[in-house]
């Protein structure tokens, strides 16, 4: 048995990259009695662990936990060893796992920014350092530790603020009064936090998956690491102490429908063509195709065709899909969108086509509707609403659209390009501010496992910071939703598409 285990360790060593060896060494920093020096192979690390009785053929739990933490469960399958774990304890500290998760989400560009901002660390010590190496330097200088991460939070505020959410969840995890240690079971792979995209040919009816690793409380109920109950004797506080779940995204992703109305030359209302809309259509198609959706694009639909299309969507069987995405790019008026014939369609009627009553196969699945259009004609500075083009600038206003701040169906998200009663803008050479920012932020934050509502918050920030060359026009998007869980897209295996540089010119 010992010989088989030694051979298995050698096979593991051969399967790991240099970065993964560094990650394993980092994760074992608190386990070994002396800090592991720079190791060039996993075998050296395994030898140290075995010498201190942390790893053996009869106790392979640490090896299992290490490989699952760095998202290499396939290695466990390849070495074909039966790991019967004796206890539900976790050997790697939550703090060490947090730092590893953070390192996996930091890009090379962001790492460079971090090094530039680290005035408290000698520059020479940061050269050629990986993110994990930088974290170790901060620990050596006592700038961060298990109970003090404020320095890192301040750093992330300038580099990548979304990472501070991970630190917030970590604090809730270690302070949760009823939390139990994470159970690592050899037959189960924990939900990946960075690279994941399992797709089956059939979509089984799976239980809703928690957004963080759950554990069992003493009474057998699920205890969340994503919530904290500081007032144990407060019934209202206990009632709200529930697991925050993600919508299941384990089967086929779903259908993405794009309605792009560009040519209004035959409209009986005076509506100009929507110059630049092609850039939005192309960006949406690339991004949602990258996310795994089946794409269907419809150009220049009149009002009757739009109604018929949504009715058809609602009549389809979506049982094999995880979700639905619909995008409408058009002129409109408050509560309605225009067909290219100049007739209006009520947004609420389109939503009714995909609710649980009309489309039972979409019950408890996220339905996402993104609308690029104005919601009114108010503006702080002179613009031409209702689709009237301003010939003096390439920035144009689209038409008004519905206010759905009180969604009438569950599991719905409507991403509005602007707040009620105000216009939204379209760049004739780049596309709309809203759609371009949406696509850019999906590409940036989906690989970091950020949920959709948080991404739309970042879109709000980006678009609200944009303006035209005159610095007079402003816009504020507004998502509205009746979601009951988080929408977290699985990270695609393919590299993300490149979206236009609109937000570089308009920060």
Residues annotated catalytic, as ranges:
331, 374
> With contact defined as beta carbons under 8 Å apart, do 400 and 386 qualify?
yes
Query: Residue 502 has which token pair?
Result: 């609109």
Distance CA 424, CA 417 (A): 6
- Longest CA pairwise span in the chain (Å): 83
Distance CA 433, CA 506 (A): 9
Question: Residue 27 phi/psi, 5° resolution?
Answer: -65, -25
Containing H/E element for 223?
strand 222-223
Question: Residue 506 phi/psi, 5° resolution?
Answer: -125, 85
∠34-44-183 over CA atoms, to 5°?
75
Question: Residue 65 phi/psi, 5° resolution?
Answer: -65, -40
Distance CA 245, CA 366 (A): 13
> With contact defined as beta carbons under 8 Å apart, do 88 and 79 qualify?
no
Of 127, 132, 113, 107, nearest in space to 23 by CA: 132
DSSP 120-162: TS-HHHHTT--HHHHHHHHHHTTS-BTTB-HHHHHHHHHH-GG
> With contact defined as beta carbons under 8 Å apart, do 69 and 75 qualify?
no
**Number of DSSP helices (H) and strands (E) in the chain, helices first:** 18, 16
Contacts of 174 (CB under 8 A, 6+ apart): 94, 95
SS3 395: strand
SS3 73: helix
Q: What's the gap between Cα 132 and its chain centre?
A: 23
- 421-450 burial: b if 16+ Cβ within 10 Å, else e: ebbbbbbbebbbbbbbbbbbbbbbbbbbbb
């Amino acid at each position: 048995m010992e010989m088989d285990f030694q051979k298995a360790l050698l096979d593991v060593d051969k399967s790991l990259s240099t970065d993964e060896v560094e990650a394993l060494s980092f994760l074992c920093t608190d386990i070994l009695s002396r800090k592991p020096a720079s190791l060039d192979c996993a075998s050296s690390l395994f030898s140290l662990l075995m010498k201190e009785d942390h790893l053996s053929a009869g106790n392979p739990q640490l090896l299992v936990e290490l490989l699952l933490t760095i998202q290499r469960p396939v290695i466990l399958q390849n070495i074909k060893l039966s790991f019967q774990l004796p206890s539900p304890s976790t050997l790697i500290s939550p703090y060490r796992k947090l730092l590893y998760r953070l390192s996996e989400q930091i890009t090379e560009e962001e790492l460079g920014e971090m090094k530039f901002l680290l005035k408290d660390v000698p520059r020479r010590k940061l050269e050629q350092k990986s993110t994990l190496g930088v974290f170790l330097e901060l620990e050596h200088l006592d700038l961060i530790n298990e109970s003090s991460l404020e320095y890192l939070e301040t750093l992330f505020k300038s580099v990548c603020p979304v990472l501070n959410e991970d630190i917030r969840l970590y604090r809730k995890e270690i302070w949760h009064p009823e939390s139990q240690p994470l159970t690592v079971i050899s037959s189960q792979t924990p939900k990946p936090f960075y690279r994941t995209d399992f797709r089956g040919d059939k979509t089984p009816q799976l239980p809703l998956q928690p957004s963080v690793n759950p554990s069992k409380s003493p009474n057998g109920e699920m205890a969340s690491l994503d919530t904290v109950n500081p007032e144990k004797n407060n019934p209202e506080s206990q009632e709200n102490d529930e697991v925050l779940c993600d919508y299941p995204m384990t089967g086929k992703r779903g259908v993405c429908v794009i309605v792009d109305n560009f040519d209004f030359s035959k409209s009986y209302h005076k509506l100009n063509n929507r110059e630049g809309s092609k850039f939005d259509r192309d960006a949406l198609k690339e991004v949602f195709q990258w996310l795994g959706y089946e794409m269907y694009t419809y150009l220049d639909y009149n009002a009757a065709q739009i109604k018929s299309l949504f009715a058809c969507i609602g009549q389809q069987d979506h049982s094999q899909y995880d979700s639905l995405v619909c995008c409408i790019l058009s002129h409109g008026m408050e509560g309605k969108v225009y067909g290219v014939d100049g007739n209006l369609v009520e947004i609420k009627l389109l939503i009714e086509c995909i609710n649980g009553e009309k489309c039972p196969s979409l019950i408890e699945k996220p339905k996402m509707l993104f609308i690029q259009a104005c919601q009114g004609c108010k503006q702080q500075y002179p613009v031409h609403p209702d689709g009237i083009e301003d010939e003096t600038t390439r920035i144009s206003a689209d038409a008004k659209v519905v206010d759905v701040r009180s969604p009438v169906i569950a599991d719905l998200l409507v991403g509005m390009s602007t707040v009620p009663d105000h216009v939204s803008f379209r760049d004739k050479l780049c596309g709309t501010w809203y759609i371009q920012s949406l696509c850019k932020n999906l590409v940036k934050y989906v690989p970091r496992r950020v949920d959709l509502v948080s991404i739309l918050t970042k879109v709000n920030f980006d678009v609200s910071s944009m303006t035209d060359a005159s610095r007079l026009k402003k816009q504020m998007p507004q998502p509205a939703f009746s979601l009951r869980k988080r929408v977290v897209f699985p990270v695609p295996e393919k590299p993300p598409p490149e979206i236009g540089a609109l937000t570089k010119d308009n920060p």
